Amino acid sequence: MSVAERLRAAGLAWHPRAGDRFTIRSEELMGDVFTISDMVVEARDYPTGTVLGFNGTTEWALDSVQLQDALWLPREDQLRELLGPAFRSLARATTGEYQVLVAIPGRPEQVFGSSNPADAYAEALLALMASATA
């Protein structure tokens, strides 16, 4: 399971805005990355839920997709923002691994590492979310 899928399963809510990246949860389109933009993919809120509308896509017949059928791929800056005051630092170890230091309330500071910074932030956020539900 990808980090994005784990974040979704942990209950991370997505409120689409310009610049957000996502993929569509289907065999045919999984792996294709789309970006929310007022010019191409626009988040439209309706009483029945949020729909991601594809504007000007004449080359294929995808007009819109329900939010629950999309998988948000949060960026490094978004993950850091979601960590809020728990975030302490991001550093690169001599091994090349990126390490995120967080202070989760009631626990000693913890380090989460990965080969890319976004995944290190995501692992830290998953730990923070788990501590909030424990």
Sheet holding 41-46, edge to edge: 41-46, 49-54, 64-66
State the pLDDT confidence band at 41, using cuts at 50, 70 and 90: confident
Residues of the chain with CATH 3.30.160: 76-133
Count of H-run helices and E-run strands, the chain:
3, 9
- What is the average per-residue pLDDT within 65-93? 95
Query: pLDDT at residue 90 above 60?
Result: yes
Q: What is the pLDDT of residue 57?
A: 53
Contact 12, 71 (CB under 8 A): no
Q: What is the pLDDT of residue 62?
A: 63
Dihedral of CA 113/116/117/123: which sign?
Answer: negative
Q: What is the pTM of this model?
A: 0.82
CATH no. for 76-133: 3.30.160
State the pLDDT confidence band at 61, using cuts at 50, 70 and 90: low
